Amino acid sequence: MSTMETDSVVIRRLRPDDLDVVVRIDEKNTGRRRAEYFEIKLEKALAEVGIEVSLAAGVDGAVVGFLLCWVHYGEFGQPEPVAVLDTIGVAPEHRGAGVGQALLDQLRTNLLGLGIRSLRTEVSWEDQELLLFFQRIGFQLTQRLCLDLELDYE
């Protein structure tokens, strides 16, 4: 069990110097090292000056969780602005201690302040832990289908 029960979680905007810890947390969670992927994602997130929707969660001064989110002002034929939760990660030793909830609570506050009323994400059907987390915080299935097309070169 984490020591988070007595510690408070501090949420702040992601910064360029968070890259290494984001990569480490993601690697612990996925078993893959995706440094270049997160370097590109973090650079994009930080380019949105003034829009604080990519966040870090700290406990005792150490980053223990993060999320990357984008704001789209209309997509797939819908003119309303929508936020897209791209990635969320919490260090395994801090799961179940409110870090993910704190990140999403702050994200919700920030998005509402921007006038955005919808947050979307995708999750693998096999990732039951993440599906349950999203369900607990209020995400619901939509009437939309996500479609993939494999682009093979034969």
Number of domains in the chain: 1
CATH of the domain at 24: 3.40.630.30
DSSP state of 7: S
Q: Is residue 143 part of a domain?
A: no
Q: Is the pLDDT of residue 2 over 70?
A: no
Q: Is residue 142 part of a domain?
A: no
Q: Is residue 69 part of a domain?
A: yes
| Element holding 35 (H helix, E strand) | helix 35-47
Check residues 56 and 42 and name the one with the higher pLDDT: 56
State the pLDDT at residue 4: 35
Check residues 80 and 97 and name the one with the higher pLDDT: 97
Q: Is residue 83 part of a domain?
A: yes
State the pLDDT at residue 150: 85
Q: Is residue 112 part of a domain?
A: yes
Q: Is residue 134 part of a domain?
A: no
Cα separation values, 10 from 24, 60, 150, Å:
19, 9, 41
State the pLDDT at residue 76: 64
Q: Is residue 153 part of a domain?
A: no
Q: Indicate the pTM of the whole model.
A: 0.82
Kindly state the tokens that stand for 45.
């997130």
Q: Which domain holds residue 87?
A: 3-125
CA-to-CA distance for 136 and 154, rounded, in angstroms? 44
Helix axes 35-47, 19-30, angle to 10 degrees: 130
Q: Is residue 151 part of a domain?
A: no
What are the pLDDT digits (tens) for 88-134? 999 999 998 899 999 999 999 999 998 899 899 988 889 999 999 99
DSSP state of 8: P
What is the number of residues in the chain?
154
